[in-house]
Amino acid sequence: MRSYIRNVLAQNNSRGSTVIIKNGKPQQISYGWAWYGKRIGNGNDSVVYPTASLQKVVTAAMVVQLMNEKWHTSERFSQNTKISRWYPELKNANNITLGQLINHTSGINAVNTEADRRINYSEDDAVKWAIDNANAIDPSTPGTYFYNNTNYILLAGIIKKISGQSYETNFNNRIVNKLGLANTYLYQNIPSWKTDPISYTWNIKNYQDPEYITKTQASQLVGAANMFTTPMDYYKIQVGLSNGAILNKSDFHYLTHLKSRANNYSGGIYLDNNDTIKSAYGNLGGTHFGIWFQMTTDNRNGLIMFLNQTAGDENAQKQVGYQILNHIKPYTFIAG
């Protein structure tokens, strides 16, 4: 398996770290340099990767945790609660439900969420920017699917408003500590003995056009794309979403079947093949990362692929992964 995976990545001019799950057993297989200039290899114990939009299911899961905790109190809320409860100043908030925020069907269509503004935002300031930016543009009608990071930045703010604690504190207590994750951090908490990777493109040769995620860019995207981890830790998160560590199976079903979904996306992930396959893709503007996972919903087979050198667009990267998935378990996975 190891030589096969590395050959597939090499043939497609791709580099990165993967976790292969076959019959319930995860295995890490990496290839190439995470930081070419310093000769730090992908899969090195010091490297933690950006998850980009693969973080969104974690944020959504924390909302469901809080929903359960508040269910028998005066602070009870559900997927149908209007977000004006938390954001009375937000345009159209009286018409937007929490579920629509989670499923990108809020109608919010703010722009430039990933363009590095060169400001190191606090959580509160990042949320304020999201509100101001959303208010600057007339929203679409709620119910319209429009994928936008602003939805999840606002969810991070809601987590703080409900819990009385920062997103960071909730993330560490509810996810990192709960699962005993040793390699999972929000950007600002990556310790000095760890490093995030450089991203590259293939252009005639390897390791071209180096770009990395800056502190300021990460700070803009609280709850949406400021989590860094390894593919093995991310595998543990996926398992924890339905085994009771983060959510139980009933909670996971609730999260992934919200009434506000307009397609097969709900709660931060896509479900396909009669809910037997789950997946999500992420990257960040200005960088070359290709972050993708596709697994069976029982977590027994699949691929978590964190590429830091990519060749081609999102579809090309998924095709690389699909080739690997067909080797793991043929006739099971989907190409997109």
Q: How far from 315 is each of 208, 288, 308, CA to CA, in Å?
A: 20, 14, 16
Q: What does the pLDDT look like over 174-197, one tens digit per residue?
A: 999 999 999 999 999 999 999 999
The Cα–Cα gap between 221 and 227 comes to 9
Number of domains the chain contains? 1
Structure confidence at residue 154 (pLDDT): 98
Helix (H, G, I), strand (E, B) or coil at 266: strand
Q: Is residue 225 part of a domain?
A: no
In a domain, 186, yes or no: no
Q: Which domain holds residue 92?
A: 64-164
Q: Is residue 40 part of a domain?
A: no
Strand partners, 270: 265, 279
Does some domain include residue 200?
A: no
In a domain? residue 270: no
pLDDT for res 2: 95
Parallel, antiparallel, or unpaired: how do β-strands 302-310 and 199-203 relate? parallel
Give 223-282 pLDDT, tens digit per residue: 999 999 999 999 999 999 999 999 999 999 999 999 999 999 999 999 999 999 999 999
User: Is residue 148 in some structural domain?
Assistant: yes
How many Å separate Cα 162 from the centre of its chain? Answer: 22
Q: Which residues of the chain have pLDDT under 50?
A: none
Identify whether 35 is part of a domain.
Answer: no
pLDDT at 336: 78
**Residue 229 domain-assigned (yes or no):** no
